Chain A
């Protein structure tokens, strides 16, 4: 069975802290994605990666960076967390040959 895991289900951080969100997939997928989900706005793409050490900006990359040192792991970094980054963060992976994405359970981040 396909599995995407995220390091935390819930996270509370203070403004200005550096935050790491980690995502691991066990399907040997080439492509990995980070989204944030806010009520009424659906899912918005932050960054994606189609290979190790490769990254592409999505629609809302400001305030975020990513790292993909290994194929199975894709990390989202908030360099200096701000209250407007309070959100649900979803990681997904996808085989390069098919458009179906497999999602992790999400991390609900609260920035105080």
Chain B
């Protein structure tokens, strides 16, 4: 079964607004990562947060991790049309194997 599950499945916002995506997982983890996938392309790593971290920033991205609730959120501030993509969380518990969720499809309208 999938370790990570994203919510919502799809999100549509206007350019300039903030986008928040959530990820829940089932078992303890070492790290949680977020990846982006533009339509029909491979995934690109965005940010990694370790299990002993609660928040991390990278440019317009902010990730939080709540291990007690087994959940994470990805916030994209001041969204742009170029942020339109699918976003996946991935957890690693079993050594090098990542377990991906089904993804959130983000559409940013200009």
Contacts and interface: CB of A to CB of B under 8 A. Distances in A.
B101 A99 contact: no
Interface stretch (B14-22, B40-48, B60-68, B69-77): B40-48
**What size tier do the contact residues of chain A reach?**
20 to 34
B42 A42 contact: no
Interface of B: 2, 4, 30-31, 33, 35, 40-45, 48, 88, 92, 96-103
Contacts, number: 55
Nearest to A10: B40
A94 B92 CA distance: 13
A102 interface: yes
Chain B interface SS verdict (over half): strand
Contact of A100 (B4, B45, B97, B103): B45
Interface of A: 4, 31, 35, 40-45, 48, 50, 58, 88, 90, 92, 94, 96, 99-106, 108
A94 B103 CA distance: 21
Given A92-B43, A103-B35, 10 more contacts: A31-B96, A40-B102, A42-B2, A42-B4, A42-B100, A43-B43, A43-B100, A90-B43, A99-B30, A106-B42
